[in-house]
Amino acid sequence: MSELTDLGIAAIRDGVAGGEFTATEVAGAFNSAVAEANPVLNAFIVTTPDHALAAAAKVDAARAAGEALGPLAGVPIGMKDLFATQGVQTTAASHILEGFVPQYESTVSQKLWDAGAGMLGKLNLDQFAMGSSNESSAFGRVISPWRATGETAPRTPGGSSGGSSAAVAARIAAAATGTDTGGSIRQPAAYTGISGIKPTYGRCSRWGIIAYASSLDQAGAMAHDVTDCAIMLGAMAGFDAKDSTSLDLPVPAWAAGLSDDLRGLKVGIPREYRIDGLNADVAKGWDDGIAWLKDAGAEIVDISLPHTKYALATYYIIAPAEASSNLARYDGVRYGLRDLPDGAGLQDMYAATRAAGFGDEVKRRILIGTYVLSAGYYDAYYTQAQKVRALISRDFEDAFKQVDVILTPTAPSAAFVLGQKSDDPLEMYLNDVFSVPASLAGLPSMSVPCGLDRQGLPLGLHLAGRPFDEQGVLNAGLAIERRAGFTAKPAKWW
């Protein structure tokens, strides 16, 4: 039944609904694929085959009873281990939450189960979603199913949603949830030849998602293609009174609204992103994208986003500042790890617990965040960063007076070899240079595959749209997808 695992959301849903196969068969096939691949790829922190089978059995029973099936009926997915799942360990890939089993289900995961999806397991990620390579996980790095032509060196699946990207690319999950704070859906999607969308900030409830940087965190979909992203995002999004930053807007029927006819659409190409020394393959992919969008009827417009060169610096002040506060609750008092040395007082317990529980990258960002919020530095860093963030948003507002979507590469290169950048945090942070600006402005944005580089590794193109215009982004993505003809898959070596 290996061919069942080649199917994405729409194909599985339609096949189950049409009686070509049962949801239980699909879940079984994916469970087997996970069991086989996970010891090698390490995409899942825990697997939950029973959850997938139970959801499938419900769908099969509903179909037999002639009941209406949900938009993800019978689709086994992976759940990034940043979403709280009731009764299933939820760790944020951190030792500090090892063994933590929530008594509650995140809004987004609940919506997916309500839509008929089942869970194959909890997907690995960079610890607390901090990282671009998945190497900061306390449960081991994820190995990308992709290898450069003629090489066996393990490569990164990107981060922080690296378990998600690896699982979808390796066809051991039909789709996966991701979360994106500065590029954590889009960059891993680009690195693994899949599609990933981060909606407008506020589209998906953050309730039950372990917080990294609250003003930036957004859940999104990672899947084989644009259509699957549209279906899955439609099931995830919607107003939630439990999240004060949730958008109280109806969720458009994105999947039904998909069209690659871009006549009348204007696509902006920001000149500042044509950086010196841009990887030639990445530059070529970008040029191809421009040509495909033209072919779909769009008009290409040269635009300027003058403040985006400060985006990365701004992000690495705001995100750590919020993180330093958001992660204060992991103190050893109520849940998770507690390290209580003999004779220790409260302060000693905090210090020991947090020293033992957090990884290096998490500690680094807590320290940066604590520093930029400190008396005497607050205005120079945090206040200034907020001002620059407003200017970056204004750049986009101005640009969207001229154009409808903005096309750039997703990442400056293809996936790198694991360990290559782990000694240099700044080099690592540069991975997000193209994705961070849209995060700071809260814009819907996605990555779609555009081809392979000369090493045989996938590259992605990045589309950003106006607030609430996921449809515009998805349609432009669909136009690229149909013209890029990207069908490459990693050869199975595991």
Partner 1 sequence: MSYRIEGATGEWEVVIGLEVHAQISTQAKLFSGAATAFGAEPNTQVSLVDAAMPGMLPVLNAECIRQAVRTGLAIDAQINKWSRFDRKNYFYADLPQGYQISQLYHPIVGEGAVEIVPDDKHPDRSKVIGVERIHVEQDAGKLMHDQHPTMSYVDLNRSGVALMEIVSKPDMTSPAEAGAYLAKLRSILRYVGSCDGNMDQGSMRADVNVSVRRAGEPLGTRTETKNVNSVRFVMATVEYEASRQVDVLEAGGKIVQETRLFDPDSGTTRSMRSKEDAHDYRYFPDPDLLPLVLTDEFVEECRASLPELPDAKRKRYEGALGLSAYNAGVLTADADTARWFEHLLTNSAQRQGKAEGDVAKAAANWLTSELFGALNKHGRSLSDSPISAEAGGELLALVGDGTISGSAAKQVLEKMLETGDAPGVIVEREGLTQTSDTGAIEAAVDAILAANADKVEQYRAGKEALFGFFVGQTMKAMQGKGNPQLVNQVLKAKL
328: contact with partner 1 by CB under 8 A: yes
214 binds partner 1, rule: CB under 8 A: yes
At closest approach, how far in Å is the CB of 331 from partner 1?
A: 6
Q: Which of 132, 136, 184, 195 is catalytic?
A: 184
Which of residues 375, 401, 423, 491 is near partner 1 by CB under 8 A?
375
User: Which of 160, 164, 165, 324 is labelled catalytic?
Assistant: 160
**Binding status of residue 104 toward partner 1 by CB under 8 A:** yes
Stretch that binds partner 1, among 8-16, 210-218, 296-304, 452-460 (CB under 8 A): 210-218
The reply to whether 384 sits near partner 1 by the rule CB under 8 A is no
CA distance 78 to 175: 7
To partner 1, the closest distance from the beta carbon of 182 in angstroms equals 14
Give yes or no: 160 in active site. yes
Which helix (H) or strand (E) segment is 446 a member of?
A: strand 445-452
Structure tokens at 423: 């000694």
Distance CA 491, CA 49 (A): 25
Q: CB 325 → partner 1: shortest distance, Å?
A: 5
What 3-state class would DSSP assign to 100?
coil
Which secondary-structure segment (H or E) carries 230? helix 226-236
Residue from 159, 163, 199, 208 that binds partner 1 (CB under 8 A)?
208
From candidates 10, 123, 210, 461, binder to partner 1 by CB under 8 A:
210
CB of 258 or CB of 349, closer to partner 1: 349
Q: Is 308 left (phi over 0), alpha (psi -120 to 50) or beta?
A: alpha
Q: Would you say 191 or 330 has its CB closer to partner 1? A: 330
Is residue 119 involved in binding partner 1 (CB under 8 A)?
Answer: no
By the 8 A CB rule, do 425 and 361 touch?
yes
**Residue 195 neighbours by CB under 8 Å, 6+ apart:** 189, 222, 223, 224, 225, 226, 228, 229, 446, 447, 448, 449, 477, 481
Q: Are the C-beta atoms of 397 and 405 separated by less than 8 Å?
A: no
Which of 112, 130, 209, 464: binder of partner 1 (CB under 8 A)?
209
Residue 487 binds partner 1, judged by CB under 8 A: no
393-427 burial: b if 16+ Cβ within 10 Å, else e: bebbeebbeebbbbbbbbbbbbbbebebbbeebee
Both tokens assigned to 189: 């999607």
| CA–CA distance, 288 with 291 (Å, rounded to integer) | 5
57, 350, 364, 489: residue in contact with partner 1 (rule CB under 8 A): 350
Please give the residue ranges that form the binding site for partner 1 (CB under 8 A): 83-84, 90, 92, 97, 100, 102-104, 106, 206-211, 213-215, 241-245, 321-322, 324-325, 327-329, 331, 333-335, 346-347, 350, 370, 373-375, 378, 382
List residues with catalytic annotation: 80, 160, 184
